[in-house]
Amino acid sequence: MSNPRFVLAGSQSGVGKTTISTGIMAALLKRKFDIQPFKVGPDYIDPAFHTFITGHKSRNLDSWMLDKDVIVELFLRNSMGKDIAVIEGVMGLYDGCGSDKDNGSTAHIAKLLKAPVILIINGKGMSNSAAAQVMGYKLYDPEVDIRGVIINQVSGEKHYRILKESIERDTGIECLGYLVPNPEIKLESRHLGLIPAMEVENLKEKLEAIATIVEASIDLDRLVAIAEGAVDINIEFSIETSVNRDINIGVALDKAFHFYYEDNLDLMRKLGANIIFFSPLHDDCLPENLHGLYFGGGYPEVFARDLEENSYMRSKIKEAIEKGMPTYAECGGLMYLTKGITTFEGSKHEMVGIFDCHTRMTGRLQRFGYITVDIDEPCVIADDRSVVRAHEFHRSILEEEKNSSYAYSVTKASDRSQRWKCGLKMFNALGAYCHIHFYSNKKLAKDFIGNCEKFRDGSDIHA
């Protein structure tokens, strides 16, 4: 099948991948392209910008958490029928898990998908050295098909022409354009990365401005031609028959909770769940006739005062969980289900109070990176012992843990000497800092839906 595609990869983090990626998507949209966006790695914030622009849910492609065939299948299923797929990389092109360039890196995804790579570099303060940098990336892994270069942070067109001449002459890789520094189009950040799309004021206008700049200084026609020249890839799809079990799962979705892998929600739907979104920030109470709850990550610490003030919602969530409703909470969701959150500023705010501990924000990352999760005890997402690959990224800690029962033993992927307990259990609720992609172990999604079905039918849940 024909699947035009390209990867936008950075030479390193902070080189401007997201600004350029969103600008290119917005510019292609103006040309009436139907775009399917993807993001390499365990990122939730960048995909929200992709989705805002294209109208299609951006999907994560992670070669550490997911098997090769799963990655290719998810890519093909979601890009089918689209005009072009735009894949934004993560960190630097060859940065993966630890020192392994073929484990979680943008380069690995590009090779698995046989996708041409457009390398983004920072041209500030360079001339011929830019060619040396590009040559290094070209030679480091000849299997990575670097087809073009975009140069960010050049002083102007004259500077770009110097860099372009050197790069094309000495590496044989063509330059497709450039951007000059422009603070007006910069996407601002805070403690976990970019400020999420739903919080950015005048985002549509800002993206239109970025698109206009991209149209003027990046060769979109050549970019599309490179994408259309990508070799076809095919795979025999796994058989996943959707079932109608009429299970209603309430999924928290608002400015405080919006870190979800879209494929997780899709898999739950295929397993018979109706996904019903609700807002712990703004709704008065839970949706009716729920059989389970799912709280993703996000920024509950930023909206702690508002979450606290919605006391009726908190009381209804606590009441539902105490009655045995299966509940799965990741990172920010875990924080919400503790007794309270102490913010960066030191203010304390009451939360739901299912888990007998408090959350406190800290000034540095507490856990960051890929992990292996051994599920040692039955819990709401696992009826028996299981293993799943996952990711952690948070600046908070749990304090005053009392009466805690843990389901997980966690090992850091890049340093197996680092092990710790996580996964708090209470009633039929599970809260943990790690983010799990259900396609890493589909049994977890099946067990969760199965336990929701038991709750609906009044059967015992051994979790």
Rounded Cα gap, residues 268 and 278, in angstroms: 17
Q: Considering 331, 357, 434, 452, which one is annotated as catalytic? A: 331
Angle between helices 203-217 and 45-54 (to 10 degrees): 80
Six-digit token string for 200: 């950015």
CA-angle at 166, arms to 162 and 168, nearest 5°: 115
Rounded Cα gap, residues 18 and 49, in angstroms: 9
Six-digit token string for 274: 């109706």
- Annotated active-site residue 331? The verdict is yes
Rounded Cα gap, residues 69 and 75, in angstroms: 10
Burial class (CB in 10 A: 0-12, 13-18, 19+), 67: exposed
For residues 320 and 293, the answer to whether their CB atoms sit within 8 Å is yes
Q: Which residues of 88-121 are buried (b: 16+ CB within 10 A; e: fewer)?
A: bbbbbbbbbbeeebbebbbbbbbbbbebbbbbbb
Rounded Cα gap, residues 258 and 193, in angstroms: 14
Residues 6 or more apart in contact with residue 458 via CB below 8 angstroms: none
Rounded Cα gap, residues 20 and 424, in angstroms: 40
Six-digit token string for 372: 């292996």
Nearest to 394 by CA among 294, 293, 300, 280: 300
Residues 6 or more apart in contact with residue 366 via CB below 8 angstroms: 394, 395, 396, 397
Six-digit token string for 449: 């839906």
**Catalytic positions, please?**
331
